Amino acid sequence: MMMGAPTSAEAEPSSDKQVKVLIVGAGAGGIMALARLRRGLPNAQFTIIAPNEVHLYQPGQVFLAAGLEKHEDLIKPNSDFIDEEVNWIKDEVASFDPDNNKVVTRNGEEVHYDYMVVATGIVYHYDWIEGLSESDIGTNGISSVYLSDLEKGTTRGAEVTWEWFKALKEAAKKGEKPTAIYTQPATPIKCGGAPQKILYLSADYLKEEGLEANYIFATNGSKLFSLPSIEKTLAETQKSYDTITNKFKHNLVAIDVKNKVATFEETYQIKGEYDEDLQEYDMITKKRKVDMKYDFIHVVPPMSPPKAVVESKLGWQKGSAKGWLEVDMYTLQHRRYPNVFGIGDVMGIPKGKTGGSARHHGPIVAENLIRVVEGEKPTAKFDGYTVCPLKTDYGHIVMAEFNYDGLAPTIPFLDPATPRWMWWAFDLYMLKPMYWYLMMRGLM
């Protein structure tokens, strides 16, 4: 019932053609595409290339970071979802050659295909922040819920962040208000609301014992949320906590780990020449470095597609989405290689870097790829559905559902900007079994 209304692709067309289908990646998107396509193409030969034998339920990492989940609750063997009849190459694609319908793995194996679904996901770049390395996470007051090894199925970042919550509370108990910084980078990120989820949950964790801290939300964005009604709710949420300061247009570029100093690049504008015709000043955009001392910092790393996509002909060749998979924002078919489709975070489309989005991508990709196999044009359209369950405290969530046109709540008569316990219960207790037993099997 939840996670958005059914799409027009739920009818699931089929084809008896004998074709070779390659799926690159075995995260949520890849597994959902595989399940749907196997039903729709019963005579096809399927290959999936993915090194991860462990499947990680990524939405649960924020709950683990808040002390409400355990690592073992968030993992299952990927063999639960990849049938023995599927040729599973436990490797990673090192290069794509779409002109010759093949890929090469990092072990040098060439794999040919007739049709391909790219579901490689997204890559974290802690090393793009000067002075910071992955080994620093969990030391010197630094945490990052995103730090997980998807190939090995680890949740180290979430575990470290839970310890960070507790250390922040202990520091607040000593009487001096600690300063905690929460960052959001200049790149697109998986689950854009995650930085604020950690902010509000950690603040509420202190608030339950009447403790205080100086909280700083430093984001490259210019507002708390793109939709006005959701932003208004988040602004009201911030007032319920002690001293949250927003630093907009601040992108973390360096950290002095030893001395606990974060350096941001701030974007700002100054007046230029006066335009007589427009009767206003031209505005000139400039940048400057800003240092902030902290006691604790939660880092969201810059993110990008995997190197193999960025360096291939499959990525956008120019523009703001350069390097991300170049697919049509509605059909999810590659704009230059019609036998290639995308699903999940790797796509260079305006919205859709959430698990809920991938759930909506699945039927679109399956229907359109099967239509192309049958020599038809793709007609199913992704509407941009994205869902961001913004945790405003322990016990309440703003279920921000939206698409290319704006707000798109699953239950229209409920104000989507209102924090609700029902969404907290759904996200914590209901979504995970739905994910394992319905979504991963292509049944919703």
DSSP string, 10-55: GG--------EEEEE--SHHHHHHHHHHHHH-TT-EEEEE---SEE
Q: Which residues contact 287 (CB under 8 A, 6 or more apart)?
A: 265, 266, 267, 268
pTM tops 0.85 = yes
Task: Tokens 């780990």: give the residue.
Answer: 257
Instruction: Give the tokens for residue 49.
Output: 């290339």
> Is the confidence at residue 44, as pLDDT, over 60?
yes
Is 118 in contact with 24 (CB distance < 8 Å)?
A: yes
Q: Alpha carbon 78 to chain centroid distance? A: 20
Tell me the per-residue pLDDT of 335-361, one tens digit each, with 9 for 90 and over: 999 999 999 999 999 987 898 999 999
| Dist CA 224 CA 233 (whole Å) | 10
Look at residues 4, 1, 79 and name the one whose alpha carbon lies nearest to residue 354: 4
Q: Mean pLDDT throughout 184-196? A: 93
Sign, Cα dihedral of 353, 359, 360, 364: positive
> Is the confidence at residue 155, as pLDDT, over 50?
yes
| Dist CA 344 CA 119 (whole Å) | 6
Tell me the per-residue pLDDT of 280-320, one tens digit each, with 9 for 90 and over: 888 888 899 999 999 999 999 999 999 999 999 999 999 98
| Strands 102-105 vs 93-97: parallel, antiparallel or unpaired | antiparallel
Instruction: Give the tokens for residue 32.
Output: 């959902």
Q: Mean pLDDT throughout 411-418? A: 92
Q: Alpha carbon 280 to chain centroid distance? A: 40
| Dist CA 156 CA 163 (whole Å) | 11
Q: How sure is the predictor about 278, in pLDDT bands with cuts at 50, 70 and 90? A: confident
Q: Mean pLDDT throughout 2-14? A: 55
User: How many residues does the structure list for the chain?
Assistant: 444
256: helix, coil or strand? Answer: strand
| Dist CA 325 CA 343 (whole Å) | 9
Task: Tokens 């680890």: give the residue.
Answer: 154
Question: What is the chain's mean pLDDT, rounded?
Answer: 94
Q: Alpha carbon 410 to chain centroid distance? A: 20
Residue 176's pLDDT is what? 84
Which positions are annotated as active-site residues? 191, 388
Instruction: Give the tokens for residue 20.
Output: 């070779």
Look at residues 347, 339, 325 and name the one whose alpha carbon lies nearest to residue 44: 339
Q: Mean pLDDT throughout 135-156? A: 93
| Dist CA 332 CA 372 (whole Å) | 12
